[in-house]
Amino acid sequence: MSKHKPSKKTKPLRSESWFGRHDRDALVHRSWMKNQGFPHDQFEGRPVIGICNTWSEVTPCNAHFRELAEHVRYGVLDAGGFPLEFPVMSLGEPVMRPTTMLFRNQVAMDVEESIRANPFDGVVLMMGCDKTTPALLMGAASCDLPTIGLSGGPMLNGRYRGETIGSGTHTWKFTEALKIGTMKLDDLPEAEACMSRSAGHCMTMGTASTMASMVEALGMGLPTNAAIPAVDSRRKVLARMAGRRIVEMVKEDLRMSRILTRQAFENAIMVNGAIGGSTNAVVHLIAIARRIGVDLTLADWDRLGREMPCLVNLMPSGEFLMEDFYYAGGLPVVVREMGRFLHRKALTVNGRTLWENCKDAVNYDERVITPLAKPFKPLGGIAVLRGNLAPQGAVLKPSAATPALMKHKGRAVVFEDIDDLHARIDDPKLDVKADDILVLKNCGPKGYPGFPEVGNFALPAKLLKQGVTDMVRISDARMSGTAYGTVVLHTAPEAAAGGPLALVQTGDVIELDVARRRLHLDVTSAELARRKAKWRPPAPHADRGWVKLFCETVNQADEGVDLDFLVGKSGAKVGRPSH
């Protein structure tokens, strides 16, 4: 039962501007809608709930959403609401090219305008595969209606020839094994099938699981939203409860801006450290915060994450998978363990505080969720690096890095772009040693374009064959949340925007010192100025359409990679009549 106090004055429903009138427009709105079999009483004062669905067969992680949406619908009907499902563009991480991140803001625009233009009083956001979660939260935040997030849930654990395997994480491992010949090409079809054996999103603590955890930590999802496996019947129950609850939220006028406060974002950053979450959450949370009006920065990530221990022993940093995380008690246990750090009074969608929801959670497996007193890894947060190579910042995930490389000085081996990397990285004649630093340019938001997950690029084959397992890699790209390694990412400004990364040459010396948060290019200012004078921006990727708009208006990584004109919100004012 909600403890949130609804506002005393009951506001008229937004949907009444469509359905509650007696003029020609209302006749048109109701009459055409009735062709779907809705009885007249559905249009009489019931909260209209939009079920925003990212189902698509080319988004395999969300392919079960048609059925899940039916359970949301049952819940809305249970509570006396009027459910109306609507599709938005979906983003399938494993399929789309050049990268789903190129389209996150496009989906956010789709969501925002779909909500604002239609007769919704409240919205349930159905999210799963990586970018679908931030895209939907960003778009909905710019409307600020009562909104609840429902994640689709992770796949069941992968199992291959007696070994537990994790999505993404084992993609990198299998690829490296193929490169050095310890796995045969003929084994690959079986391994692929064993990795993805049920509906749901990646079941490692990759970006999808991280963002589902962020939904719960932010208070935007019901308790246990993050971890219930996609195929577990309790995921359907959660969907039904979300449907019931959103109707109450409309009656309480419990809008997103009441939940997505600075405190909520600070909680999410700390929880991200405790779960060993993806570096992608940095970009997404900053973008969502700026939509709702909270000025979240990289400095917040470093300040709040610096001391955060990692409690969750999940791949890619650890051993277990999301199914194990759920059986151990899931995110409520992490919140309970972290209680002394968190803003306990932050409100959540069920009308209770985060602490009220989680304070009695029980840890059923301390191998999977370690106690705060004995953390799985001492450092779980995201390290924000600065220096003359990254004046606006860069990030690194200490829990996924090699401790011995966290302080390292080495010679740069530079790849000008992804094509240069592909052409030379496995060349036996490549002049590279294990203690060099690999630098990849022009893979940022404008450069690729779209800011792809290539920052964890594979090591040179000749070094892999020598048994080298990690090297410092620096780029303006992102990396998959399922990846690992001593990888400096999101270097800003990016090379294609004229950032100092563009000026690095093979043979330069670079210093990385994670403890001191330092990323330094050992080249004089005068020499850098000389190189900058000669630098020319890359040719535009497109002369029309979305890619042109994206490249011309996208913000840098430290600002969330939103389009500059989409930052902020416009609310959900009802537009002029259409007829």
**For ligand FES, which is the closer residue by CB, 95 or 180?**
95
Q: What's the one-letter identity of residue 113?
A: E
Write out the residues near ligand FES by the rule CB under 6 A.
Answer: 61, 93-94, 129-130, 167, 201-202, 206, 208
Q: Which long-range contacts (C-beta less than 8 Å, at least 24 apart) are formed by 183-186?
A: none
**For ligand FES, which is the closer residue by CB, 91 or 247?**
91
Q: Does residue 511 sit in helix, strand or coil?
A: strand
**For ligand FES, which is the closer residue by CB, 235 or 244?**
235
CB 61, min distance to ligand FES, A? 3
**For ligand FES, which is the closer residue by CB, 137 or 270?**
137
DSSP annotation of 432 reads -
CB 228, min distance to ligand FES, A? 15
Q: What's the one-letter identity of residue 98?
A: P
Nearest Cα residue to 451 out of 177, 154, 130:
130
Beta strands in 358-445 (DSSP E): 383-387, 390-396, 407-415, 437-440
**For ligand FES, which is the closer residue by CB, 129 or 259?**
129
Contact by Cβ (8 Å): 171, 159: no
**For ligand FES, which is the closer residue by CB, 68 or 250?**
68
**For ligand FES, which is the closer residue by CB, 61 or 358?**
61
Beta strands in 266-389 (DSSP E): 383-387
**For ligand FES, which is the closer residue by CB, 278 or 442?**
278
**For ligand FES, which is the closer residue by CB, 248 or 453?**
453
**For ligand FES, which is the closer residue by CB, 351 or 450?**
450
Locus of tokens 């496009």: 106
**DSSP-assigned beta bridge partners for residue 51:** 85, 124
Joined together, the tokens standing for residue 111 give 């969501």
CB 431, min distance to ligand FES, A? 35
d(CA 321, CA 204): 5
Nearest Cα residue to 169 out of 322, 324, 316:
316
**For ligand FES, which is the closer residue by CB, 154 or 398?**
154
d(CA 555, CA 499): 13
Q: What is the DSSP string of 478-495?
A: ---TT--SSEEB--SS-G
**For ligand FES, which is the closer residue by CB, 151 or 357?**
151
d(CA 228, CA 62): 15
Region class of 181: left (phi > 0), else alpha (psi between -120 and 50), else beta = left
Element (H, E) at 151: strand 147-151
CB 136, min distance to ligand FES, A? 14
CB 566, min distance to ligand FES, A? 24
**For ligand FES, which is the closer residue by CB, 107 or 247?**
107
CB 481, min distance to ligand FES, A? 8
CB 220, min distance to ligand FES, A? 18
CB 380, min distance to ligand FES, A? 21
Cβ neighbour number for residue 532 with a 10 Å cutoff = 12
151 CB-near residues (< 8 Å, 6+ apart): 127, 128, 133, 201, 211, 212, 215, 221, 225, 226
CB 500, min distance to ligand FES, A? 32
CB 467, min distance to ligand FES, A? 29
Percent helix, percent strand, percent coil in the chain, to nearest 5: 40, 15, 45
Task: Tell me the Cα Rg of the chain.
Answer: 24
Q: What is the DSSP string of 313-343?
A: -BTTTSSB-HHHHHHHT-HHHHHHHTTTTS-
Contact by Cβ (8 Å): 141, 111: no
Nearest Cα residue to 485 out of 475, 470, 464, 474:
470
Q: What's the one-letter identity of residue 271?
A: V
d(CA 26, CA 536): 57
CB 230, min distance to ligand FES, A? 11
Cα 185 to its chain centre, rounded Å, is 32
CB 197, min distance to ligand FES, A? 14
**For ligand FES, which is the closer residue by CB, 136 or 394?**
136
CB 132, min distance to ligand FES, A? 8
By CB neighbour count within 10 A (0-12 exposed, 13-18 middle, 19+ buried), where does 40 fall?
A: exposed
CB 206, min distance to ligand FES, A? 6
